[in-house]
Structure 1
Amino acid sequence: MSLRSELATFAGKSSYWFLHTFMHGGSSLPGKITTAIDPEILKHLGKNYDVVVITGTNGKTLTTALTVQVLKQKYENVLTNPSGSNMEQGLVTTFLKAKNNKSKRPLAVLEVDEANVIKLTKYIKPIAFVCTNIFRDQMDRYGEIYTTYKKIIDGIKLAPKATIIANGDAPIFNSVDLPNPKIYYGFKNHDDENDIKAEPNTDGILCPKCQNILHYRYISYANLGNYFCPHCGFKRPVLNHELTKLGQLTPNSSQFIVDGQELSIGIGGVYNIYNALAAYSVGRFLGIEAKEAATAFQSNERVFGRQEQINVEGKDVTLILVKNPVGLNQVIDMISKEQEDFSFIGLLNANYADGIDTSWIWDGEFERLNQMPIKKFITGGERYRDITFRLKVAGVDEKLHEVEPDLEKVVKDIPNLPTKKVYILATYTAMLQLRKDFAEKGYIKGGME
Structure 2
Amino acid sequence: MTIRSSFAETVGKSSYWFLHTFMKGGSSFPGRIAEQIDPAVLKDLGRNYDVILVTGTNGKTLTTSLIVKVLAQKYDQILTNPSGSNMTQGIITAFLTDKEKPKRHQRKLAVLEVDEANVKLVSRYVKPKAFVLTNIFRDQLDRYGEIYTTNDKILEGIKLAPNATVIANGDEALFASEKLPNPVIYFGFDDQPDGDVVATPNTDGVLCPVCNHILHYKFITYSNLGKYFCPHCGFHRPALKYRVTKRIHMDPTSSQFCIDERPYAIQVGGLYNVYNALAAYSVGRFLGVKPAQIEKAFQYDEKVFGRQEVIQLGDKKLTLILVKNPVGLNQVLDMISTDAQPFSLGWLLNANFADGIDTSWIWDGNFEDFVRNNDVPAVVTGGDRVSDISFRLKIAGAPDDKIHPNQDLDHFIDELKQVPTDHLYVLANYTSMLQLRQKFADMKLVANRM
Q: TM-score range by the shorter chain?
A: over 0.9
Partner of 1:206, secondary structure, is coil
Q: Would the aligned equivalents of 1:214 and 1:229 in 2 still touch at CA under 8 Å? A: yes
Return the offset for 1:101: 4.3
Q: Within 5 Å, which residues of 2 pair with 1:43-442?
A: 43-101=43-101, 104-192=106-194, 194-370=195-371, 371-442=373-444
Amino acid at match of 2:100: N
Percent of residue pairs bearing the same amino acid type = 59
Q: State the alpha-carbon separation in 2 of the partners of residues 226 and 85 from structure 1.
A: 33
Moved more, 59-68 or 409-418: 409-418
Amino acid at match of 1:256: F
Q: Would the aligned equivalents of 2:206 and 2:215 in 1 still touch at CA under 8 Å? A: yes
The 1:446/1:189 distance shift into structure 2, 3 A limit, reads closer
Give the match for residue 25 of structure 1. 25
Q: Would the aligned equivalents of 1:185 and 1:241 in 2 still touch at CA under 8 Å? A: yes
Residues 195-252 of structure 1: per-residue CA shift (max 9 Å, x gap): 1000011111211221111100110000000000111111000000010000110011
Return the offset for 1:358: 0.3
Partner of 2:378, secondary structure, is strand
Q: State the alpha-carbon separation in 1 of the partners of residues 23 and 85 from structure 2.
A: 17
Q: State the alpha-carbon separation in 2 of the partners of residues 78 and 218 from structure 1.
A: 37
Q: State the alpha-carbon separation in 2 of the partners of residues 342 and 441 from structure 1.
A: 23
Q: State the alpha-carbon separation in 2 of the partners of residues 294 and 101 from structure 1.
A: 30
Amino acid at match of 1:395: G
Partner of 1:77, secondary structure, is coil
Deviation beyond 3 Å, 4+ runs, structure 1:
none
Amino acid at match of 1:143: G
Partner of 1:277, secondary structure, is helix
Q: State the alpha-carbon separation in 2 of the partners of residues 65 and 435 from structure 1.
A: 19
Residues 267-294 of structure 1: per-residue CA shift (max 9 Å, x gap): 1100111011001100100111111111
Q: State the alpha-carbon separation in 1 of the partners of residues 62 and 380 from structure 2.
A: 27
Return the offset for 1:180: 0.4
Return the offset for 1:447: 2.5
Return the offset for 1:373: 3.2
Structure 2: segments with no counterpart, 5+ residues: none
The 1:325/1:190 distance shift into structure 2, 3 A limit, reads closer
Q: Would the aligned equivalents of 2:132 and 2:168 in 1 still touch at CA under 8 Å? A: yes
Return the offset for 1:189: 3.7
Amino acid at match of 1:349: N
Q: Would the aligned equivalents of 1:328 and 1:364 in 2 still touch at CA under 8 Å? A: yes
Return the offset for 1:167: 0.3
Moved more, 290-299 or 95-104: 95-104
What is the TM-score with the length of structure 2 in the denominator? Answer: 0.98
Q: State the alpha-carbon separation in 2 of the partners of residues 441 and 34 from structure 1.
A: 32
Q: Would the aligned equivalents of 1:339 and 1:373 in 2 still touch at CA under 8 Å? A: no
Q: How many residues align?
A: 447
Q: State the alpha-carbon separation in 1 of the partners of residues 37 and 445 from structure 2.
A: 39
Amino acid at match of 1:426: A
Return the offset for 1:76: 1.2
Give the match for residue 37 of structure 1. 37
Amino acid at match of 1:304: F
Q: Would the aligned equivalents of 1:344 and 1:424 in 2 still touch at CA under 8 Å? A: yes
Residues 113-164 of structure 1: per-residue CA shift (max 9 Å, x gap): 0010111111111000000000000000000000001000000000000000
Q: State the alpha-carbon separation in 1 of the partners of residues 246 and 152 from structure 2.
A: 33
Structure 1: segments with no counterpart, 5+ residues: none
Residues 6-37 of structure 1: per-residue CA shift (max 9 Å, x gap): 11010000000111111111110000000110
Residues 168-190 of structure 1: per-residue CA shift (max 9 Å, x gap): 00001001110100111000044
Q: Would the aligned equivalents of 2:69 and 2:297 in 1 still touch at CA under 8 Å? A: yes
Q: Would the aligned equivalents of 2:191 and 2:247 in 1 still touch at CA under 8 Å? A: no
Q: State the alpha-carbon separation in 1 of the partners of residues 422 and 209 from structure 2.
A: 48
Q: State the alpha-carbon separation in 2 of the partners of residues 321 and 395 from structure 1.
A: 23
Q: Would the aligned equivalents of 2:382 and 2:407 in 1 still touch at CA under 8 Å? A: yes
Q: State the alpha-carbon separation in 2 of the partners of residues 389 and 374 from structure 1.
A: 16
Moved more, 349-358 or 409-418: 409-418
Amino acid at match of 1:74: K
Residues 397-431 of structure 1: per-residue CA shift (max 9 Å, x gap): 11211111111211122222110001000010100
Q: State the alpha-carbon separation in 1 of the partners of residues 4 and 59 from structure 2.
A: 36
